[in-house]
Structure 1
């Protein structure tokens, strides 16, 4: 979808479209998004934070007044929208994680979402999932009151999104279709990063394994109908987990990603060994200069490197690039996946061009390739702007997959 605003900065436009997409499940309102965006100075991270924080505070304040007056539906709706706006407010500030605005906006977003969840018609319960020496935060959506085992979908976000955002990226959609849903933040994602600084790890099966341990201890979960959905970079992490985790019975890569290191390796003639050696060197001023040039001239690179250093624990942009070489499904990993797999694709994706096709081509399991189009308004990354359409097609696929697996 061509930019309707922020025409010179694809990151600002996509984050605006992402917000507009969340309207579908109550996470934003059109006028609030547009009027806020119109106040923002393009490519100015401080301006972005200032205006989204102002909108979030205003919407949350009105919601609290509604709640105090006994208007619970109005309060719920406002709090859901506020949670999205608070998340957006701190989105571009991660180049300096010590900036107090980062934790403040994040905490307010979680607080708003949890307050909305308590008022929801859907049963949404905050959960703590034991993981290593700590716990992962998430939400359990219980479909109905029946104790009869039901199909369940586990969902996580990707490089920059949260478990709270997964409400709008699929959890609400699956819950209203009768699925139990478990969303969570893994290492590198907002919950663990803000609380403990737990950074990403490529062996995502070590994250999903404890999540499945927790889930499958619940009597209302049918162990033969457990699906895993990963959004954005989660479209690589979830397949990685499924390659080593037989308890996953269906997999959704939303959208598919095969190799996060491909762009990095491309600067070295696809020679990954050379890339790893240069990026890991004690000193490589020419490479540092190239990366600084990319960050100065490309809004996507500017944001990706600043955010990426934080969530991977890298000490420099070059260090972050080196870490990305480990995030892939090469060397036979994709071929290990055995469960039915849906690979979603957005032809206008600014981040992962060709990645869904590469993942699909390497799968040897039962596989489906689902390509959305510009004519449908669904060609953006993770079909932002067409969430109802995307969730209908994805959930229909899962319905039919579990039906045929019986």
Structure 2
């Protein structure tokens, strides 16, 4: 199957858009140290899209080979006393294993094997980091424990500020090790990378989602950090990576311990629920989902940054309109709206040359991450 690079920066295998999206995510991670362009192109060229073998199996096999090469280089460098080289290779191995596990129709055994190898490389990276990181378990449900990676700030005396980086349900926390950890460390902040996928030993995410709401994990994560001696519990921020739900906004709406938050602020929920309120329904007949979403997002008290790519499914004008609801009734509210390819502040849109920052896009994510972490640092500095 031929590949094509179009002017918007998307790599297309015409019959496998899912793999095209994953490949462009991988390319975007190269600028943060999660891959190398040469390894990406070489590995992709070996994938057999038209042969007798399953395309998904070929994809898994080739990315696993590349991941294991990086893993071997990391182990060799660590044994020879070269921790910097070991760290960079383990991070790339983490990302390549994540890509190997991506195909939706991949057999469960192969996916679980790739995820297990990815987590082993992540643990090796933490052991080699300075200061050393930790694999932590966070109690949430009696049958479901969250797993996280805690990367402490460099020693500075008192408890350090922390940013919680959490992905949308289904996204893996390992991506934050190369995507966001450096930005936190350079600004004197510790980082807790966590997801809602659990520790792999209990129930599946699908089983948990049937009976529990993922936003309820936010309080458990905050409880864990507040109990650490090396954390300043007055300076804990949260960053939600992704815009396919508002579960983080729902989680912080009634937990007022956060010093700052970067998320959609409930905008996605508000946008979706607005379609569930038929105009001909008499007001008061039953709860209005749009008003309920308004109530939740207006309950967020901490400084809030709404950061979005302009091509994430909502237009800039629509995002600005919904964000104005966040400010309604509280003019002293600290709400910042930033849209790549133009910024919005207090409802005014300014055009800019920055490229979009959506997940799965081959774009300039560094600019977005620098802006986000500068904003977080300014809010939790004191």
In structure 1, the residue matched to 2:69 is 58
* Structure 1 stretches lacking a partner, 5+ long: 274-325
TM-score scaled by length of structure 1:
0.74
TM-score scaled by length of structure 2:
0.78
* Structure 2 stretches lacking a partner, 5+ long: 1-6, 279-288, 328-332, 342-351
Q: How much has 1:65 moved relative to structure 2?
A: 3.0
Aligned counterpart for 1:109 among listed residues 94, 102, 118: 118
- 2:265/2:306 contact within 8 Å kept: yes
SS in structure 2 at match of 1:332: helix
Inter-partner Cα distance in structure 1 for 2:232 and 2:188: 13
Aligned counterpart for 1:151 among listed residues 153, 161, 166: 161
- 2:294/2:325 contact within 8 Å kept: no
Q: 1:71 to 1:169 in 2, by over 3 A?
A: closer
In structure 2, the residue matched to 1:369 is 337
In structure 1, the residue matched to 2:235 is 225
In structure 2, the residue matched to 1:300 is none
Q: How much has 1:122 moved relative to structure 2?
A: 4.2
- 1:256/1:345 contact within 8 Å kept: no
In structure 1, the residue matched to 2:177 is 167
- 2:10/2:361 contact within 8 Å kept: no
When structure 1 is superposed on structure 2, of 27-36 and 377-386 the one drifting more is: 377-386
Inter-partner Cα distance in structure 1 for 2:230 and 2:90: 29
Q: Does 1:197 align with 2:160?
A: no
Q: How many pairs does the alignment contain? A: 341
Aligned counterpart for 1:37 among listed residues 20, 26, 44: 44
Q: 1:193 to 1:353 in 2, by over 3 A?
A: farther
Inter-partner Cα distance in structure 2 for 1:384 and 1:209: 34
Q: Does 1:47 align with 2:58?
A: yes
SS in structure 2 at match of 1:46: helix
Q: 1:353 to 1:92 in 2, by over 3 A?
A: farther
Aligned counterpart for 2:78 among listed residues 59, 62, 67: 67
In structure 1, the residue matched to 2:12 is 6
Inter-partner Cα distance in structure 2 for 1:185 and 1:4: 27
Q: How much has 1:50 moved relative to structure 2?
A: 2.4
Q: 1:346 to 1:332 in 2, by over 3 A?
A: same
Inter-partner Cα distance in structure 1 for 2:99 and 2:232: 36
Q: 1:205 to 1:348 in 2, by over 3 A?
A: closer
In structure 2, the residue matched to 1:211 is 221
- 1:63/1:76 contact within 8 Å kept: yes
Q: Does 1:85 align with 2:96?
A: yes
Inter-partner Cα distance in structure 2 for 1:399 and 1:159: 26
Aligned counterpart for 1:138 among listed residues 148, 166, 171: 148
SS in structure 1 at match of 2:269: coil
Structure number with larger C-alpha Rg: 2
Inter-partner Cα distance in structure 2 for 1:229 and 1:375: 24
